[in-house]
Amino acid sequence: MCIVILLLLKTSLYAQNQSPSAYTSLGIGRIEKYGLVKNQGMGGAGLALPTDNFVNVLNPASLTGVDSLKMLIDMGLNVNLTHYESKDGQGNAVSGGLNNITMAFRLTPILGTSFGISQYSQVGYNISSTAYIDGTLIEIPKTYEGSGGIDQVYLANAISISKNLSLGLKMSYLFGKISKSEIYTSEEIGGGLRLDYSDYLQQVQFETGIQYHFQVEKNTFSLGAVYAHHTKFNTLREVLTASSGGAGIAEELEAEDYALPTDFAVGVAWMNISGFKSVFDYRYQNWAGISYIHPVAAYQDLHRFSGGFEYRNSNTRKAAPFLWQVGAYHEDSYLKVQGNALIDKGITLGVGIPVRNYRSYLNLSFNYGTRGTRNNALITENYYGFSLSMSMVENWFKKRQFD
């Protein structure tokens, strides 16, 4: 029942969260930010951090850190402002919507559990171009439009092997619809011609994780890693053609081979009793191993580096402490367009505002980044992101005693 409620909430807001970027027209679109809002404040890093009062979805093995008496709930949303520049001009666009609904709790003394729904990738673009009528030198206007993306419903479990070592397994159901259209408008073809096709994608993906913690005086050091195998989507394509003159067109269109690559990531973390945290992650995805046929684009291996710092005044006694975060990331994207590798890099800031008690927080993160290039008539995107989430800690499993 909880999963059904999450799906209804997510579906009601999904249409608001379309990514206005020409680069999302390639493959499954742009893969969403890594981790929840609290991770995003530190550059999207945190593979080695345990789940304590915040759910860490980056590594299923982190769930053994959940307190046995607590239920953790996290709900987040985001807003993005993107400024585009190319040799032909510039423009702005705004997008945003629901980012995640997540819950975590301890199922047994050695088993932590989490489930939720989040957005995995986004597609959203509107591109104007021209095309030649077959067999002629006549050019007519052509518009490419796209929308949709992939959502993720997941269930994760982690087990404590020893005091310092935990293993985790995450099962995700990935599903979604990617809609694309080609629109031709000209009196030369009798008015207008439109081709719409929709790809319905679904697949189950498994991810394994491991975390190891050790203490050195007043410092805790952690190591973490996750691995997910290559996943190919099951795809169903629907095609609809129409023209203003009443005539349809027949064209063979094969469904694209949508797939996700082998994904491997490692992370380290340092936590001090005074309230300092430092994290660093490296992620590798073998996109070059996926076949992708496109006239101007190709897949290449992804390399992502991210890291950040957090400070929480653990010595305060009169009021719940604020959380302060800073981070950065650099990603060699999995896309190469017209021979140009796309780079995505940026900086992040985060703050956690205590509400209700010492454990519940209103989390805010801000990031500024750039992606793309203006070489070969391509587009540079400068984007400003704002994310907000409520991380709640509830005493759902605490037994009450009465006199």
State phi, psi for 290 to the nearest 5 degrees: -105, 130
pLDDT band at 295 (very low <50, low <70, confident <90, very high): confident
Cα(21)–Cα(79) distance, integer angstroms: 14
pLDDT band at 336 (very low <50, low <70, confident <90, very high): confident
- Mean predicted confidence (pLDDT) in 297-305: 92
pLDDT of 12 reads 36
pLDDT of 394 reads 79
Long-range contacts of 249-258 (CB under 8 A, 24+ apart): 249/193, 249/195, 251/195, 253/197, 255/199, 256/27, 256/199, 257/232, 257/290, 257/291, 257/292, 258/27, 258/28, 258/199, 258/201, 258/232, 258/233
pLDDT of 253 reads 60
pLDDT band at 139 (very low <50, low <70, confident <90, very high): confident
- Mean predicted confidence (pLDDT) in 88-94: 79
pLDDT at 397 over 70: no
pLDDT at 342 over 70: yes
Q: How would DSSP label each residue in 328-368?
A: EEEEEEEEEETTEEEEEEEEEEEEEEE-SSSS-EEEEEEEE
pLDDT of 246 reads 57
Above pLDDT 70, what percent of the chain? 84
pLDDT digits (tens, 9 = 90+) for 20-71: 677 788 888 888 777 899 999 999 999 999 998 899 999 999 999 998 888 9
- Mean predicted confidence (pLDDT) in 372-401: 78
Contact (CB, 8 A) for 264 and 283 = yes
Average of per-residue pLDDT values in the chain: 84
pLDDT at 348 over 90: yes
- Mean predicted confidence (pLDDT) in 270-296: 90
Domains of the chain, with CATH numbers? Answer: 2-394 (2.40.160.60)
Name the residue among 330, 321, 339 with its Cα closest to residue 275. 321
- Mean predicted confidence (pLDDT) in 119-143: 76
pLDDT of 358 reads 61
- Mean predicted confidence (pLDDT) in 181-204: 80
Give this prediction's pTM: 0.87
User: In 10 A of CB 342, how many CB atoms?
Assistant: 20
